[in-house]
Amino acid sequence: MSTDTAALERRAIEFAKIGNFSNEALEINRELTLVAPANQGAWTRLGRCCLELQQFEDATAALARALELNPSNNIAKSLHQEVIRRRALRPVQSDAASGFTPQDFYTLGQLASADAVRVLGPKVESLLMSLNEQRTAGRIVEVRKRAGQSGSKLFRRNSFYPGMHGHMFAFHHGGRWEPQFNLGMFSANPWGQNSLRVGIGFNMSPAGSDPDREAGQANTLESFERFQQQLAGTWRGHVVDWMGRHGGFIQFGERGPATDLLPKDAVDWIVNCRNPAGIGWVFVGRWLFVDKPEDAATVGEMRKLVAAVEDTFAALYPLWLSVYNGS
């Protein structure tokens, strides 16, 4: 090691010992990586400096290089996890009219589900409260009231929940054991694509701590059977056509959207499903994929997103009504 390189190393270590990860410390470590590119300590300290200065892309690159040099570098591993955590928690500068950004989906995929719900909750709640003001929400509430169910709003506050990793969802008030108006948000980590679903779902799993689970599951299974009957009859052509024109897909079990099924095949799958209790979850509705520019524009602006959800709920409302009323 040359005298100049040794001097840089000493200064870099001195900065680290006193917890100084400023721009000056960053530049020293960056210079050290140039003259001694195999110095894993320099890359690790550079990553820490970038982290503290919220230069997350550079931090990730520096720590990745440190781990290439020494895969057992536990400090670099810990710092890399901290980069992920802080990047996910970084507040997004947006006004009240903003929808969901790529950063929001990144957050959903990087944090534990419960933490992601806390971070994204205010924006989700803004969407749900806006949906309460739409015409279809009022119609659904009135139908449920006539059936003896409680609730003056379609969605209550804090009515969004963590799902599996990278997933959160919301459904209408009182809808656990009903054909439910459901929204779900999925991160590309681990679901493959950043997406948002809107439509009708049936949660036929007895899992959870909900009261009357046995009776509730039986009620949902009966509703799903009526749903199958409707799709096998007069609603078949309408739903196939609607799915084809509006990016409709089904979802079942613990999988993502069944994008490999054309609308006709998707409806056939639902009609011919013989083990709904074992599958647990079946959904049909519109999917918005953030990698598609048009969908990203809809998801990214709250006004457009509310309109898209309202259009979907309105289109599926008559089908829901026929299932809910048993007609």
In angstroms, the Cα distances linking 227 to 49, 178, 232, 275 are: 57, 11, 9, 14
Q: What is the pLDDT of residue 110?
A: 85
Residues in CB range of 44: below 8 A, 6 or more apart? 62, 63, 66, 73, 75, 76, 79
Q: What is the pLDDT of residue 94?
A: 45
Q: How do residues 122-149 score in pLDDT, each as one tens digit? A: 899 999 999 999 999 999 999 999 999 9
Beta-strand ranges (E) seen in 60-125 are none
Q: What is the pLDDT of residue 269?
A: 98
Q: What is the pLDDT of residue 91?
A: 57
Nearest to 305 by CA among 317, 284, 290: 290
Mean predicted confidence (pLDDT) in 61-85: 93
Q: What is the pLDDT of residue 118?
A: 87
Q: What is the pLDDT of residue 105?
A: 94
Greater pLDDT, 172 or 326 = 172
Q: How do residues 12-27 score in pLDDT, each as one tens digit? A: 999 999 999 999 999 9
Cα 188 from Cα 100, distance rounded (Å): 14
Q: What is the pLDDT of residue 96?
A: 42
pLDDT band at residue 58, thresholds of 50, 70 and 90? Answer: very high
Q: Per mean pLDDT, which range of 9-13, 15-19, 93-97, 269-273 is the poorest?
A: 93-97
